[in-house]
A = this chain, B = another copy of it.
Amino acid sequence: VKFSTIDNGTRDGMLVLVNNDLTRMIRCHGTHGTLREAIEEWDSFLSNVAHLDPDGVASEPFVTEHALAPLPRAWQWLDASAFGCHGELLQKAYDLPPVPSSPPLMYQGMSHQFLAGHHRSRFPSEEHGIDFEAELGVIIGDVPLGCDPDDAMGQIKLIVLINDWSLRTLGAAEMRTGFGWVRAKPACSMAPIAVTPDELGSAWKNGRIHLPVMVDYNGVRFGAACGSAMDYGFHELVAHAAATRELCAGTVIG
């Protein structure tokens, strides 16, 4: 199933089901009119919307430009550095000594705002070293304290694409304090469509997405990140985060 969130003037937007070719949609009404609410009772929500046909007579045109981030605000955003090659780039960008990659590197980022993919992102100054970063993310259900990777797998409800903006000039100084990033990490952007893992078929395997993420920069191919090359699967990242805390439904793991 494919979902999107349409701008209706509210902070959480309006949740819709989208058809396969991303041209039609149908509204998810009622108490689960937002992904923020639906994710808290995801399995019953999914069965409640199973009869909705985004290609049927009750459907409407889907216009990407009307979409917000699928989850315009989330309670928690935990972003991992789960690719060995990313760790090497990070060292180079920040002029750091080698950082051990086990346990997985993870920080708590701002989650109260995920921008739409086509929103203008506002930055105070180019001198802050504006950088972009393609990321895969999952949106999870409630995960108990101490959850193991196998159980965590079952709590992976949706897959999203994220652009993680960074301000590298500010980031180097913040890293040195050991407190992690605040000023260096403004709001991320999230692509308009969130999909259930089964939409990926056999490409969803071992908690990894065995597909490339194509990255264009001003219309020119910039890179293609290989989802299968993650050092940790998403289920392992979820379990890592849950080692000392419960994770609530609607947590986004990058």
Contact = CB atoms under 8 A, between A and B. Distances in A.
Contacts of A167: 244
B111 A177 contact: no
Identical copies in the complex: 2
A76 B111 CA distance: 7
Interface of A: 11, 40, 73, 75-76, 78, 81, 94, 96, 99-100, 105-113, 122-124, 128, 145-146, 167, 170, 174-187, 240-241, 243-248, 251
Contacts of A76: 110-112
A219 B108 CA distance: 34
Contacts of A177: 99-100, 105
Nearest to A76: B112
Contact of A107 (B81, B106, B180, B186): B180
A244 B188 CA distance: 12
B178 A180 contact: yes
Contacts of A178: 94, 96, 99, 174-176, 178, 180
Contacts of A109: 108
A75 B78 contact: no
Contacts of A112: 75-76, 247-248, 251
